[in-house]
């Protein structure tokens, strides 16, 4: 019997009562003038805050005592947080992408999640840590599948850079084209890993940056709300889409 395609862009892979991951997008200035607790944690992550939050630090060294319990191959490679009910954040996403997976624990009925931060140059095929990254990401996805109620798991991709983040090379056509190809390859690569385990594609919840600065992300676990701070908003590159539609979407950037 043919399986009916479920479009994750419209949450068709979720139960009616299960919420999708929703994005709250703004510039640094937007978050700076906001007085809420989420904005404070994004902009001043080292201050003391009342709620538990895992800071996924892509630049942490093994001697820093950070990323405890996370999967990583070391500084500036990739980090995958533990599956937990804590809020999660990561910063300084230039070329790097992130995967956020959320679901409802079948035993505790808590919302649980993990968040990753990975450099496409080291995790793509031919990259130094490709094999280990695939194993680690699949292990985290299998944990979600094992622990969560069916029909409650949602997965999204964010981050990435469609142009270049080096101002000195920003007008070099070859460098710009390489950046564009790396972004397309990395989102396709991540989508295929998810598809190995689940029967849906992860939504690219926000497209790539088209400027030379970085993204910062804060995920509120309980509400499945992903706060995304980036240099510019309001253009076509901030729209959500499926990896299979990237060539269509690319024409708008």
Q: Average pLDDT, stretch 174-188?
A: 88
Closest of 119, 33, 24, 30 to residue 74, by C-alpha: 119
Judge whether 67 and 114 are in contact, CB under 8 Å.
no
* Cα separation, 229 vs 129, whole angstroms: 28
Whether 176 shows a pLDDT value over 50: the answer reads yes
More confident residue, 75 or 3: 75
Whether 39 shows a pLDDT value over 70: the answer reads no
- What's the half-sphere exposure (Cβ side, CA atoms, 13 Å) at 31? 24
- Of the ranges 34-38, 155-159, 165-169, 208-212, which one carries the lowest mean pLDDT score? 165-169
Q: What's residue 165's pLDDT?
A: 46
CB atoms within 10 A of CB 243: 20
Q: Could you give the number of structural domains in the chain?
A: 1
* 19 domain-assigned: no
Q: What's residue 1's pLDDT?
A: 47
Q: Average pLDDT, stretch 57-70?
A: 86
* 15 domain-assigned: no
pLDDT band at 41 (very low <50, low <70, confident <90, very high): low
Q: What is the DSSP string of 75-129?
A: TTTEEEPPSBSSEEEEEEESS-EEEEEEEEBTTT--EEEEEEEE-HHHHSTTSTT
pLDDT band at 49 (very low <50, low <70, confident <90, very high): very low
Residue 84, classified by CB atoms within 10 Å of its CB into exposed (0-12), middle (13-18) or buried (19+), is middle
Residue 206, classified by CB atoms within 10 Å of its CB into exposed (0-12), middle (13-18) or buried (19+), is buried
pLDDT band at 59 (very low <50, low <70, confident <90, very high): very high
* Cα separation, 208 vs 186, whole angstroms: 11
* 33 domain-assigned: yes
* Cβ within 8 Å of residue 234, ≥6 positions away: none
pLDDT band at 213 (very low <50, low <70, confident <90, very high): confident
* 210 domain-assigned: yes
Residue listed under structure tokens 């280990």: 132
pLDDT band at 50 (very low <50, low <70, confident <90, very high): very low
- What's the half-sphere exposure (Cβ side, CA atoms, 13 Å) at 138? 12
* 10 domain-assigned: no
**Span 88-147, pLDDT tens digits:** 999 999 999 999 999 999 999 999 999 999 999 999 999 999 999 999 999 999 999 999
pTM of the predicted protein model: 0.90
* Cα separation, 39 vs 28, whole angstroms: 9
Distance set, CA 184 to CA 25, 109, 132, 244 (Å): 22, 36, 21, 10
* 73 domain-assigned: yes
Phi, psi of 22 (to 5 degrees): -110, 140
Q: What's residue 154's pLDDT?
A: 98
Closest of 73, 112, 118 to residue 97, by C-alpha: 118
Whether 40 shows a pLDDT value over 70: the answer reads no
* 192 domain-assigned: yes
pLDDT band at 2 (very low <50, low <70, confident <90, very high): low
Q: What's residue 45's pLDDT?
A: 59
Q: What's residue 193's pLDDT?
A: 98
- SS3 at position 137: helix
More confident residue, 174 or 55: 55
**What is the domain range of residue 93?**
24-42+53-250
Q: What's residue 143's pLDDT?
A: 98
Q: What is the CA radius of gyration of the chain?
A: 17
Residue listed under structure tokens 């031919």: 126
3-state percent breakdown (helix, strand, coil) of the chain, nearest 5: 30, 25, 45
Q: Average pLDDT, stretch 4-20?
A: 94
* 241 domain-assigned: yes
């Amino acid at each position: 019997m043919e399986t009916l395609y479920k479009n994750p862009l419209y949450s068709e892979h979720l139960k009616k009562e299960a919420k999708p991951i929703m994005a709250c997008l703004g510039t640094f200035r937007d978050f700076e003038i906001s007085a809420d607790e989420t904005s404070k944690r994004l902009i001043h992550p080292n201050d003391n805050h009342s709620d538990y939050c895992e800071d996924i630090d892509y630049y942490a060294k093994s001697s820093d005592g950070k990323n405890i319990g996370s999967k990583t191959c070391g500084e500036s490679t990739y980090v995958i947080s533990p599956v937990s009910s804590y809020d999660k954040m990561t910063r300084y996403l230039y070329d790097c992408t992130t995967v956020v997976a959320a679901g409802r624990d079948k035993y505790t009925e808590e919302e649980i999640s993990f968040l990753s931060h990975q450099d496409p140059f080291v995790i793509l095929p031919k990259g130094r840590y490709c094999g280990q990254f695939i194993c680690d990401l699949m292990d985290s996805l299998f944990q979600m599948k094992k622990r969560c109620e069916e029909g409650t798991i949602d997965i999204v991709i964010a981050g990435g850079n469609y142009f270049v983040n080096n101002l000195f090379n920003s007008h070099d056509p070859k460098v710009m084209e390489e950046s564009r190809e790396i972004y397309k390859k990395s989102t396709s690569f991540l989508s295929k890993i998810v598809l190995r385990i689940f029967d849906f594609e992860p939504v690219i919840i926000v497209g790539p940056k088209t400027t030379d600065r970085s993204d910062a992300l804060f995920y509120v676990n309980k509400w499945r709300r992903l706060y995304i701070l980036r240099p510019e908003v309001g253009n076509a590159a901030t729209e959500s889409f499926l990896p299979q539609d990237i060539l269509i979407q690319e024409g708008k950037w």
